[in-house]
Each structure stands twice: as structure tokens, then as C-alpha cells.
Amino acid sequence: MDSASLPEHPERPPAPRPRRLRKRAWYRKRKLPLRIPRLDPSADNPIHADVREYLEHWRTMGYREAGVVLRRKALLRFVAWADARGLRSVATLTLPLLERYQRDLFLYRKADGGSLAMTSQQLLLVPLKGFFKWLARCGRIPANPAMELALPRKPVRLPARVLSVSEVDCMIREADTSTPWGVRDRALLETLYSTGMRRAELAAIAIPDWNRERGSIAIRQGKGGRDRVVPVGMRAATWLGRYLESVRPSLAFEPDEGTLFLTDYGEPFLKNRMGDLVRRYLGWAGILSPGACHQLRHACATHMLENGADIRYIQALLGHADLRSTQVYTQVSIARLREVHAATHPAGRYFCSL
């Protein structure tokens, strides 16, 4: 290919020299426990006490703290709405009032003038239905008014763009493997593309989770608190081995927590920093599209599907609890549909002169 026909992309700046000792204390400060918004213990609205007991029930059932935080935020918003209207008891809350709250969520406008997405509205209403179901089961209310509350329709969106195989290869080869951090970045990108795991899952992978003999990685407590084992391709396994043998020992500090991928400063990756790294490589490859780590997740699933993988195996690889989440990729992958269209559509079988 002529060099003039290659796509232009921003020049890559030289990699900065790691300043580990100077930055290490700052990163330690960032490793804080999960921030949990607190219910005001002095609040005189009795609904606060019911919400506290409901959230404690969720903890005793073994659910993760991240799920409790999401429910807390949603319920606090409803309690504030009810308190502003003088509603101080769960016994006074009826279906028309809940439908009025749902309508207010629909009419709510953010600071930029935009409305809440249907997905956001559903995330605020689902914990509310669970809260009233628990109240009815405990006998605190005679009947569940939220049982007939209809949730807004959640739109099924396709990925904005799916990278091609050549685009993924172009992006991955942007890593300068003559430097230690380039080897690490190459191993990280190869692992994301090979396994299709989420960025939070990759950031939490420990060294013992990587089984080189079996060619697999064990994902502990992934989304929904579920464990799973995913295979690692030969190319990704090769770069992982090179990174672990020659690069990671020089990045690690004592005490070493055993996290697989470390930053230039010897710290485990934060989710946002991993996304920034992948986004930077997308820009260097001249790929301008939204998303970062999820781009490689979408590409992994779509490319496997186009090459004949069964959708059930892709569901297990991605860790989807519901097959409907995986079926989105059957609409993205049009390779088979294109073949059928070319073979059967009259305009696709014959050439005509213009």
C-alpha cells in the first residue's frame, strides 16, 4: 500500500519516564474504600428507618455493597421527593402517587437541559418496586402498591461501531514493544481483545488467576458477583508471559498485592486509567469512535460470531446472565446476512452498467 493512502493519525508523543517514588503516595490516597452516601440518622421522616432496614436486609442476603449503594441512591431520591410533598409514612403511598413520581422522573431536566434516559429511569424505579415488595412481605403495609407499576421500556441499543479485525490489529501494534510499558500495554490490549472481559474485571485480575498451562484466566466476583473462567488465545498468552517475566518485576513495589497489571508507578490500574490508556491507543491508530475498553469487548464477541461461534459460548465468555444481552451481537454481525442477500436479492446477483 502506498504511504500516501494510509490514514493520518496523531503523532504519538514519547512515553514519559515513570516517576514512581514521587507519585506512589498520591496513588495510595486514591485507593479509598467504596464511598457510600449515608442516610441522615437525625431525619424525622419515618421512611428513612424503613429504607435503612431494607438495605440491611440486602446485606444479610449476601448481595454486594455496590448493589446496595445503587439501591440506596435510588431510594434516597424517592424519600426526598416524598418528604417534599409531606408524605411521611409508607402506608400513605399508593399506586397513583408512585405513578406521579414516575411521571416526575420523565419530566425531570438535568442542568444541561437533557432528560433522564429510559435506562436511568428504570434503574431508579426497580429498587422502588423491590422496597415495596419487601414492605408488604414484612407486613408493614397491607398490600404492595408498586406491584402494578409499569416500568418504562428499556431501549435495546446496538454498539455505535464495531472495530474490524484489521483495525484491532492496527491499534494493538501501536504499542512500542521496545519499552517495558509498551510490552505491558501490548499484553493488556491483547488480553482485553482475546477474553472480552470488562475493564473492572481485568483491573482486578491477580497473578494466581492466570493459569498458563491451561491457557485461561479466572475472573473472581465479576459483574453480579459471579465467577467464571475464560480462555486466553495463544497470541495474548505469549505477550502475557513476556510481560510477567521481564516487565512486571521491575514495576512492582513492596508490599506487592499480586495484581496482574500495574501502572508505570507500580500501582494497580483504576478503571478510568485503563480506559484512558485504551482510548489513547485508539487515537494513535486513527480510530475516532466513542468507547474504549468496551470497543474490544464488542469486537471480540462480533468477530467470534462471524467466524461461526455458538452464541451460548459467547454468553459464557462475556459473563452475561441473560442470553438477550448476547443476542445483540447477532444483529451487529451481518456477515451471514450479507452472504444471503448477495445470493438471493436480484439487485445483488447481477451487475449493471451505469
* Spatial CB neighbours of 141, under 8 Å, sequence gap ≥ 6: 90, 91, 132, 135
Give how far Cα 272 sits from Cα of 13, 275, 297, 346, Å.
21, 5, 16, 49
Catalytic residues: 198, 223, 294, 297, 320, 329
* Contacts of 82-88 spanning 24+ positions with Cβ under 8 A: 82/45, 82/47, 83/45, 83/47, 87/47, 88/45, 88/46, 88/47
* Spatial CB neighbours of 350, under 8 Å, sequence gap ≥ 6: none
Beta-strand relationship, 210-211 and 228-231: unpaired
Segments in 141-179 forming alpha helices (H): 165-172
Q: Which amino acid is at 354?
A: L
Q: 90: how many CB neighbours lie within 10 A of its CB?
A: 18
Q: How many residues does the chain have?
A: 354
Which residue's entry shows cell 479485525?
Answer: 165
> Are the beta carbons of 49 and 102 closer than 8 angstroms?
no
* Spatial CB neighbours of 23, under 8 Å, sequence gap ≥ 6: 265
Q: Alpha-carbon distance 326 to 29, whole Å?
A: 38
